[in-house]
């Protein structure tokens, strides 16, 4: 068993090495950053798919960094949840890297972009696979710092401002997380998450765990952009270059926010009704506030950013329900949201690339000039609005059914309400951007280059197929094992510790 | 996933019946489109969407699993959106957006209904459930699912996309979706809900009848004051949906059979009316009633089919609309017999609605076909034989042509309307022999007792005889020739309006002056009853407040975070 666990550190090592190589050689060799960026993400993509198969055959795998066994050394754990997140992150990263080949041409210093991009990927993968809570914090900071720089990548005035706000708020969140970790360490005298869970089980949950829960809810909630900790997101996400917006909204808030909340509250602390209902409430609040704010926006990307808040609300609602069906729905929505939200950001990038504007009121009639962007955007809009047969429909259906099954009729109704408003705001996007008369100044607009198209088509295919696969065994195994990892709760500790020995 | 099972499709008499007519309407629309869509762009996607609509509609009709049903049903919403989007009016994109928001929003509510059904029964098999309406969950499930059916069929208050679509979409699209297919499917699902999936009680039946009656009256009152040909028809389509819901709401066999029969008849008539409307549209660019007139002479086939369809939907015997309305009346009377209250109200609503429908068709027939053509209208040239200045209203295709250009439309376009008009007659005259026996009664699987017998065939014969006698009297009476002269008023020959033209637009405008109705009409004009507009106002109001709070100042945002954390502290630790 130990010989296949070599795959675990690769998720961190490969992108880190890639970032290093690009920083070293990218400036002198012309196509090197592009080729390396796509190649590295492709390798990670293949590795993550392989990790699904490995997990299906061998179950939970562990890896001790440097041969030092936890709790002394740093342990890495590959369980169902980690596998699920790795696939989501790395598939998206690959599509975004392909897109960036053409899109980033208009920026200077492509090598800096790819270096930061791969560093961010390192951070996200690290957060997902690590079994050590302090290590998790370190990876979280790697991803966050890289993303601050990427938000400011355009170096325009408003981009710097957004990055500054983002950095400040995110750092505040990180500080509270660190404080939480300190308290946790003082209480349990260990940093390995499985060990912490074990100690908590033995010593019982003191008030200090409740304090840490609050700190973590705030800190990770801020990373996940839950209302009222969301205010940085609508500034930061639209300001980044489109592929980075796609990464930030698509996977960063999930791996840094949602994943960590799941891991710590379900597997380490063990879920209890108070936390569960708090999560549900925050989820529903985010869902409604996000969508109502989104519907009035005229900036294409800002509208999408507000929808990220709203959609994360769905994910948190599903997971907060705590029933297997709810968790499954939440995870399915997490995956779907990363796909269609990334696609939407890439679409907005394509429109911006072709016309130079993000203001919906200045667009119009682009359907004729950019048919592929239009049709992929239609697919993505329908997916996020939950119109069948696209993937968003299925995950929303599962979440709503799960909420009703759990007796949360009001929350289910809120989910439906948010879904209607989501549909309305995407109808607005479609109408103003693509329908209507073509304006005189867009007469010369051309469809975007090949790699951007390729990436958008890949993602819209996932939107389409994701809906159909819901009945197949592939998605069942994939989502099911993630759901199982959470439903088992603190059994996680037992399995992991057994794996280490 | 255990949410679904293998028995996904089911074919029974009801679904076969609806399926057959879905196919028929698709066929006729496609034939009609060959003529109408001639030389328009985007034809490939247009026909592609039509075919997809057919597939999805058949899926809706034959699926037995609610989730699968929902997939097809929701997909129809996108197709509606795309098909409306093919239109080329300035407001088309706005209308398609509105249509999908209303229909798709109703679909989202249906999801909650679906979840409630799963909660109540643990199955999604449509034939495997008989839910009594005895708990709040069951009532909500029924209502939420019915909202989906209402929105699709265009029943009030979810109707407002239908008149807009009628105005802004291409005419064959309107004839295909809101006028026929969406009626069939919406009412089909309501029938499934009402007869198969739920066990109705008196209150819910009364609710349905109230919704139906309200839709009939309110929509036809709105139709009376419209000045756009297609928009007027759109309101009448809404009104006809009211009859279908009312029929189902009666809860007795004859009323339900009548409602189902009216679903078919309404779809046939409305589809025929929209197609004839499109034929007129082919000759003139405008649909403004003020600018039409005199088309009876140049488009005789279109005129006759229009008259047949309009008489049929107004419930004039011997056409199909009457046969089904007659059954609905009987159903309502039966409600009264069984002790139901308020039945007089519903009966008055239906009868009054029929009369007003006829009245609005008087307006249409006068303004479009019989009245004097307006000065800018090509029909005028053909009638007067005189020269008129070229007008921008005349479509470019016909403006350079000679008189023959303004003749009857291409056979490809009139054949479908004639087929539909023939169906109107056949389904009326042979109501019991053909449609009821073949389609309606088998799908209900119940025997129908007719309280008052209406022998359609005999009555038709009598009517024909009386018409023949009337014609004979007319010819006997006009043996002496009349004298023709210039029009004059008060001894003065009219110079300004030599034709004494009454465009028909002003007809029934007086209803707006009735005191109690005046405010309602004014509110309706300000869209106070348009659910879509009302909800969007509320949402944007909340949006304004929230945006005011997001002022972009970092310390404010940090304060929220701390405040949020404080609340979490309170909730999780102190409490």
Annotated domain spans of chain B: 1-199, 210-449+498-528, 531-574
CB contact under 8 A, A231 and B560: yes
Q: From the centroid of its chain, how far is CA A295? A: 22
Q: Quick check: B6 contacting A, CB < 8 Å? A: no
More confident residue, B15 or A419: A419
Name the minimum distance, in Å, from the CA of B539 to any CA of chain A. Answer: 7
CB contact under 8 A, B561 and A214: no
Angle at B55 between CA B54 and CA B56, to 5 degrees: 95
Question: What pLDDT score does A426 carry?
Answer: 92
Q: Is the pLDDT of residue B385 over 60?
A: no
Q: Is the pLDDT of residue B434 over 50?
A: yes
The two beta strands, B198-199 and B131-132, are parallel
Question: What pLDDT score does A256 carry?
Answer: 92
Question: What pLDDT score does B506 carry?
Answer: 65
Tally of CB atoms within 10 A around B398: 17
B338-363 average pLDDT score: 83
Name the minimum distance, in Å, from the CA of A501 to any CA of chain B. Answer: 36
Over residues B159-200, the pLDDT tens digits come to 889 988 888 888 888 888 888 889 889 999 999 888 888 888
Question: What pLDDT score does B404 carry?
Answer: 40
Q: Is the pLDDT of residue A427 over 60?
A: yes
Confidence of residue B389 (pLDDT cuts 50, 70, 90): very low
Tally of CB atoms within 10 A around A494: 14
Over residues B104-137, the pLDDT tens digits come to 999 999 999 999 999 888 888 888 788 888 888 8
Average pLDDT taken over every residue of chain A: 89
Contacting residues for A421 by C-beta, under 8 A, at least 6 apart: A291, A292, A294, A295, B539
Name the minimum distance, in Å, from the CA of B42 to any CA of chain A. Answer: 10
Closest chain A residue to the Cα of B557, Cα to Cα: A231
Closest CA to A83 of A57, A118, A64: A57
Confidence of residue B398 (pLDDT cuts 50, 70, 90): very low
Q: List the single range of A49-53, A193-197, B40-44 with lowest mean pLDDT.
A: B40-44
Nearest CB to A229; choose among B75, B539, B561:
B561
- Residue B562: cis peptide before it, omega within 30 degrees of 0: no
Kind and range of the H or E run holding B474: helix B456-477
Q: CA-CA distance, A126 to B80, in Å (whole number)? A: 46
Contacts of B537 in chain A (CB under 8 A): none
What's the token pair of residue B81? Answer: 């959106």
Question: What pLDDT score does B503 carry?
Answer: 60
Question: What pLDDT score does A21 carry?
Answer: 92
What's the token pair of residue A325? Answer: 């069906």
Average pLDDT taken over every residue of chain B: 80
Contacting residues for B232 by C-beta, under 8 A, at least 6 apart: B223, B226, B289, B360, B363, B364
CB contact under 8 A, A388 and B75: yes
Nearest CB to A228; choose among B67, B543, B564:
B564
Closest chain B residue to the Cα of A163, Cα to Cα: B554
Say how many CA atoms lie within 13 Å of B313 toward its Cβ: 37
Q: Is the pLDDT of residue B547 over 80?
A: yes
* Domain ranges, ordered by start, for chain A: 272-470
Enter the ipTM.
0.89
Q: Is the pLDDT of residue A283 over 50?
A: yes
Closest CA to A376 of A344, A351, A354: A344
Q: From the centroid of its chain, how far is CA A94? A: 14
With tokens 């109230």, the residue in question is B210
Over residues B220-258, the pLDDT tens digits come to 888 888 888 888 889 989 998 999 998 888 888 888 888
Question: What pLDDT score does B450 carry?
Answer: 56
A332-354 average pLDDT score: 92
The helix/strand/coil state of B125 is: strand
Contact A131, A76 (CB under 8 A): yes
B74-79 average pLDDT score: 90
Q: CA-CA distance, B46 to B560, in Å (whole number)? A: 51
More confident residue, B276 or A1: B276
Contacts of B3 in chain A (CB under 8 A): 398, 401
Question: What pLDDT score does A38 carry?
Answer: 92
Strands (E), A68-173: 75-78
B62-78 average pLDDT score: 89
Backbone angle region of B480, left / alpha / beta, with phi > 0 → left and psi within -120 to 50 → alpha: beta
Question: What pLDDT score does A330 carry?
Answer: 92
A375-402 average pLDDT score: 91
Closest chain A residue to the Cα of B547, Cα to Cα: A293
């Amino acid at each position: 068993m130990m010989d296949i666990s070599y795959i675990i550190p690769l998720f961190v090592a490969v992108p880190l090495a890639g970032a290093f190589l690009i920083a070293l050689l990218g400036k002198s060799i012309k196509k090197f950053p592009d080729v390396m960026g796509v190649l590295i993400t492709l390798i990670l993509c293949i590795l993550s798919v392989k990790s699904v198969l490995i997990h299906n055959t061998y179950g939970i795998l562990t890896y001790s960094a440097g041969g030092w066994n936890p709790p002394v050394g740093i342990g890495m754990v590959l369980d169902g949840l980690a596998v699920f997140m790795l696939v989501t992150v790395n598939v998206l990263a690959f599509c975004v890297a392909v897109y960036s080949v053409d899109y980033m041409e208009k920026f200077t210093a492509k090598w800096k972009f790819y270096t930061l991009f791969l560093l961010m990927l390192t951070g996200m993968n690290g957060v997902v696979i690590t079994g050590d809570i302090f290590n998790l914090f370190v990876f979280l900071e790697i991803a966050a710092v890289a993303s601050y720089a990427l938000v400011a990548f355009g170096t325009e005035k408003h981009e710097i401002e957004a990055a500054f706000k983002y950095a400040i708020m995110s750092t505040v969140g990180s500080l509270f997380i660190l404080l939480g970790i300190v308290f946790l360490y003082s209480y349990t005298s260990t940093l390995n998450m499985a060990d912490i869970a074990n100690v908590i089980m033995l010593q019982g949950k003191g008030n200090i765990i409740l304090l840490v829960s609050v700190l973590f809810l705030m800190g990770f909630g801020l990373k996940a952009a839950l209302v009222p900790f969301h205010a940085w997101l609508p500034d930061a996400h639209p300001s980044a270059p489109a592929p980075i917006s796609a990464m930030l909204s698509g996977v960063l808030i999930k791996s840094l926010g949602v994943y960590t909340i799941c891991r710590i509250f379900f597997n380490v602390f063990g879920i209890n009704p108070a936390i569960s209902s708090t999560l549900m409430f925050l989820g529903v609040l985010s869902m409604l506030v996000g969508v109502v704010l989104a519907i009035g926006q005229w900036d294409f990307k800002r509208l999408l950013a507000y929808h990220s808040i709203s959609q994360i609300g769905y994910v948190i609602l599903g997971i907060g329900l705590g029933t297997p069906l709810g968790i499954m729905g939440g995870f399915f929505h997490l995956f779907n949201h990363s796909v269609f939200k990334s696609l939407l950001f890439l679409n907005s990038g394509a429109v911006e690339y072709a016309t130079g504007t993000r203001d919906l009121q200045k667009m119009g009639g682009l359907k004729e000039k950019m048919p592929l962007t239009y049709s992929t955007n239609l697919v993505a809009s329908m997916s996020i609005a939950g119109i069948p047969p696209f993937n968003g429909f299925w995950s929303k259906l599962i979440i709503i059914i799960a909420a009703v099954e759990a007796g949360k009729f009001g929350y289910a109704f809120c989910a439906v309400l948010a879904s209607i408003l989501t549909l309305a705001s995407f109808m607005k996007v479609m109408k103003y951007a693509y329908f209507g008369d073509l304006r005189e100044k867009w007469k010369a607009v051309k469809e975007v280059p090949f790699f951007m198209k390729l990436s958008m088509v890949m993602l819209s295919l996932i939107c389409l197929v994701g809906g159909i696969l819901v009945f197949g065994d592939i998605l069942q195994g994939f989502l099911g094992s993630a759901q199982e990892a959470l439903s088992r709760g603190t059994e996680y500790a037992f399995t992991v510790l057994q794996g280490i020995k | 996933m255990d949410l679904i099972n293998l028995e996904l499709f089911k074919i029974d008499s009801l679904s076969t019946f609806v399926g057959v007519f879905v196919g028929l309407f698709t066929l006729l629309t496609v034939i009609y489109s060959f003529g109408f869509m001639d030389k328009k762009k985007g034809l490939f996607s247009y026909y592609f969407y039509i075919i997809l609509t057919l597939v999805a509609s058949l899926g809706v009709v034959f699926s037995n699993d609610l989730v699968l049903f929902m997939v097809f049903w929701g997909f129809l919403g996108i197709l509606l959106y795309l098909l409306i989007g093919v239109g080329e009016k300035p407001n088309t994109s706005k209308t398609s957006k509105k249509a999908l928001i209303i229909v798709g929003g109703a679909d989202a509510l249906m999801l909650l209904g679906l979840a409630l059904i799963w909660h109540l029964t643990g199955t999604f098999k449509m034939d495997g459930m008989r839910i009594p309406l005895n708990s709040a969950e069951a009532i909500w499930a029924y209502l939420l699912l019915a909202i989906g059916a209402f929105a699709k069929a265009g029943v009030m208050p979810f109707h407002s996309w239908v008149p807009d679509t009628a105005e802004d979409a291409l005419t064959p699209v309107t004839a295909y979706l809101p006028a026929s297919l969406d009626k069939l499917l919406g009412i089909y699902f309501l029938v499934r809900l009402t007869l198969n999936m739920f066990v109705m009680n008196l209150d819910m039946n009364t609710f349905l009848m109230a919704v139906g009656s309200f839709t009939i009256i309110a929509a036809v009152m709105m139709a009376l004051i419209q000045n756009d040909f297609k928009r007027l028809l759109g309101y009448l389509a809404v009104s006809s949906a009211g009859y279908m819901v009312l029929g189902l709401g009666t809860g007795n066999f004859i009323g339900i059979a009548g409602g189902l029969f009216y679903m078919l008849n309404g779809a046939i008539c409305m589809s025929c009316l929209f197609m004839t409307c499109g034929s007129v549209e082919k000759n003139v660019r405008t649909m403004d009633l003020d600018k039409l007139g005199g088309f009876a002479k140049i488009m005789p086939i279109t005129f006759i089919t229009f008259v047949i369809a309009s008489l049929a939907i107004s419930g004039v015997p011997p056409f199909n609309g009457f046969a089904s309305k007659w059954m609905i009346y009987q159903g309502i009377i039966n409600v009264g017999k069984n002790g139901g209250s308020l039945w007089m109200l519903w009966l008055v609503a239906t009868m009054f609605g029929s009369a007003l429908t006829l009245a609005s068709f008087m307006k249409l027939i006068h303004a479009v076909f019989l009245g004097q053509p307006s000065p800018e209208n090509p029909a005028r040239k053909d009638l007067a034989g005189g020269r008129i200045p070229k007008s921008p209203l005349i479509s470019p295709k016909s403006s350079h042509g000679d008189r023959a250009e303004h003749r009857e439309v291409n056979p490809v376009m009139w054949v479908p309307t004639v087929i539909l008009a023939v169906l109107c007659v056949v389904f009326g005259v042979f109501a019991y022999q053909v449609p009821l026996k073949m389609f309606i009664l088998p799908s209900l699987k119940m025997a129908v007792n007719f309280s008052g017998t209406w022998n359609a065939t005999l009555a038709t014969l009598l009517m024909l005889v009386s018409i023949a006698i009337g014609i004979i009297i007319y010819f006997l009476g006009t043996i002496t020739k009349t004298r023709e002269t210039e029009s004059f008023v008060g001894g003065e020959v009219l110079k300004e309006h030599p034709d004494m033209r009454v465009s028909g637009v002003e007809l029934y405008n007086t209803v707006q002056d009735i005191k109690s109705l005046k405010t309602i009409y004014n509110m309706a004009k300000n869209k106070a009853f348009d659910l879509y507009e009302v909800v969007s106002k509320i949402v944007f109001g909340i949006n304004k407040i929230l945006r005011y709070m997001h002022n972009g100042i970092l310390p404010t945002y940090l304060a929220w975070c701390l405040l949020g954390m404080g609340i979490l502290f309170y909730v999780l630790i102190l409490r």
